[in-house]
C-alpha cells in the first residue's frame, strides 16, 4: 500500500499548490479590472475627499501584496471577508447559495452519470449499428446546443405549451423536497443534456480502446456474451478515463452552471456571482472564484485518487 499512499499524498500536495496559485491569479485578475470600487459605491457625484476616505475605510489604499496576504490569511482562518455593498459576511451569505448549487448539481449527476455509462455500454455493444448511430447523433446534438438555448427550448415546451413545470426555479427552505424537485426540473434537464453527450462519448471511446486487448479476445473466444465481456472485462479496465471525464463534468455542474442559474433565476452560486459582478463587489467575486477553483481542483484530485486505486499494479505491488 505504500506506493498508493505516496501517490495520493503527492496529488493532495499538488492540489494545495494549485489552489494557492489559483488564489493569486484570482486576486490579480480582480486587481487589474478597470474602474474603481469606491467610485461605483459612492457614484459619479462623489467628491475626491469622500472617495479617499472610503478607500481608506475599505483598505484599498494599502499595497496589493499586503491586501493579498491579509485576504489569504483570512481564508486560512475560514473568513472569506465582508461584502462591500451590504456589509454581510460572505461565508454566511454564500452558505445557502452553495447548498442550492450542490442540490442542483446532485440532481443532475444522479441522472446523467448512470445514464451516460449505460448508453456508452449500449453504443459499444452495437458499434456501427443503428443504436450506436442514434445515441451518438442525439448526444452530439445536445452538446452542440448552448445551455441558454436548451433552457429556453425546455421552458417553451414544458412551461408554455404543456404547463408541467414552472419557468422560474426559485427555491427556499420552506419548500418540501417534492416541490423543490418540481421547481428545478427544467434546469436539471438542461444540465443533463449538456453533460450527457460528453460523458457518453468518452465512455464509449475508453471502452472501445480496451476492446482491442488480447484478454477481451480470449473472453470472447470462451463464448461469453458480448454484453458480459463489455461489463465484466472491458468496463473495469476503462475505469480511469471514465472516472476522469465524470469528475470533470461534475465539476462543471458546480462551477459552470452560471448561465443556467441566470436563465432560470436559480438562487445558487452562479446567480450570486453575477449579481455582485454587476455591483463591482470585489471581495464577493474573489470568494466565489476561490470556491469554484477549490471544487474543481478537489474533484480532479478525487478522480486521480480513484484512478490510482483502480490500478491493480499499484494495489498489489511486487
Q: Please tell me the distance from the alpha carbon of residue 197 to that of residue 199, in angstroms, as a whole number.
A: 6
Could you report the per-residue pLDDT of 56-92, keeping only the tens digit for each?
A: 776 677 777 888 888 888 888 888 888 877 778 888 8
Tell me the C-alpha distance between 307 and 241, whole Å. 8
Q: Does residue 85 fall inside a structural domain? A: no
Q: Is residue 217 part of a domain?
A: yes
Domain span at residue 150? 97-291
286: CATH: 1.10.3720.10
Q: Return the pLDDT at 314.
A: 58
Cα 129 to the center of its chain, rounded Å? 33
In whole angstroms, what is the distance from residue 161 CA to residue 206 CA?
Answer: 40
For residue 300, tell me if it sits in a domain.
Answer: no
Check if the beta carbon of residue 255 is closer than 8 Å to that of residue 86.
no
Distance of CA 275 to the CA centre of its chain: 19
Residue with cell 438562487: 267
Enumerate the β-bridge partners of residue 82: 89
The string of pLDDT tens digits covering residues 266-282 is 988 888 888 888 777 88
Q: Mind listing the pLDDT tens digit for each residue in 205-228?
A: 888 888 888 888 888 888 888 888
- Cα 207 to Cα 233: distance, rounded to the nearest angstrom: 10
User: Is 62 among the domain residues?
Assistant: no
- Provide φ and ψ at 92, rounded to 5°: -65, -45
- Inside any domain, residue 229: yes
Task: Give the span between the Cα atoms of 300 and 232, in whole angstroms.
Answer: 26
Residue 29 lies in a domain: no
Residue 4 Cα distances to 77, 90, 246, 317, angstroms:
31, 38, 22, 9
Q: Grid coordinates in use for 287?
A: 470568494
- 55 within a domain of the structure (yes/no): no
Element (H, E) at 146: none
Q: Which residue has the higher pLDDT, 313 or 15?
A: 15
Domain count within the chain: 1
- Predicted TM-score (pTM) of the model is 0.83
| Residue 160 C-alpha from the chain's centroid | 29
Measured distance CA(104)–CA(113) in Å, rounded: 14
Q: Is residue 60 part of a domain?
A: no
What are the φ and ψ backbone dihedral angles of 171, each rounded to 5 degrees? -115, 160
Amino acid at each position: 500500500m505504500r506506493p498508493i499512499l505516496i501517490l495520493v499524498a503527492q496529488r493532495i500536495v499538488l492540489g494545495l499548490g494549485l489552489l494557492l496559485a489559483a488564489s493569486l491569479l484570482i486576486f490579480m485578475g480582480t486587481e487589474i479590472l478597470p474602474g474603481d470600487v469606491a467610485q461605483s459605491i459612492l457614484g459619479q457625484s462623489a467628491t475626491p475627499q469622500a472617495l479617499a476616505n472610503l478607500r481608506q475605510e475599505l483598505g484599498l489604499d494599502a499595497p496589493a501584496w499586503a491586501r493579498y496576504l491579509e485576504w489569504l490569511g483570512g481564508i486560512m482562518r475560514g473568513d472569506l471577508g465582508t461584502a462591500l455593498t451590504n456589509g454581510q459576511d460572505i461565508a454566511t451569505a454564500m452558505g445557502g447559495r452553495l447548498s442550492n448549487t450542490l442540490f442542483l448539481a446532485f440532481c443532475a449527476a444522479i441522472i446523467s452519470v448512470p445514464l451516460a455509462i449505460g448508453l456508452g455500454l449500449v453504443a459499444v455493444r452495437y458499434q456501427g449499428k443503428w443504436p450506436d448511430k442514434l445515441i451518438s447523433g442525439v448526444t452530439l446534438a445536445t452538446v452542440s446546443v448552448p445551455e441558454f438555448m436548451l433552457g429556453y427550448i425546455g421552458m417553451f415546451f414544458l412551461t408554455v405549451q404543456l404547463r408541467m413545470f414552472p419557468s422560474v426555479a426559485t427555491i427556499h427552505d420552506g419548500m418540501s423536497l417534492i416541490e423543490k424537485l418540481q421547481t428545478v426540473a427544467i434546469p436539471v434537464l438542461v444540465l443533463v443534456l449538456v453533460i450527457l453527450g460528453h460523458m457518453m462519448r468518452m465512455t464509449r471511446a475508453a471502452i472501445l480502446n480496451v476492446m482491442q486487448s488480447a484478454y477481451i479476445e480470449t473472453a470472447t473466444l470462451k463464448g461469453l456474451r458480448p454484453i458480459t465481456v463489455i461489463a465484466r472485462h472491458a468496463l473495469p479496465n476503462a475505469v480511469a478515463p471514465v472516472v476522469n471525464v465524470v469528475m470533470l463534468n461534475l465539476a462543471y455542474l458546480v462551477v459552470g452552471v452560471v448561465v443556467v442559474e441566470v436563465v432560470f433565476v436559480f438562487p445558487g452560486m452562479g446567480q450570486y456571482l453575477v449579481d455582485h459582478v454587476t455591483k463591482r463587489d470585489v471581495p464577493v467575486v474573489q470568494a466565489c472564484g476561490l470556491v469554484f477553483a477549490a471544487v474543481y481542483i478537489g474533484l480532479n484530485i478525487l478522480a486521480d485518487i480513484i484512478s490510482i486505486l483502480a490500478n491493480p499494479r499499484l494495489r498489489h505491488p511486487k
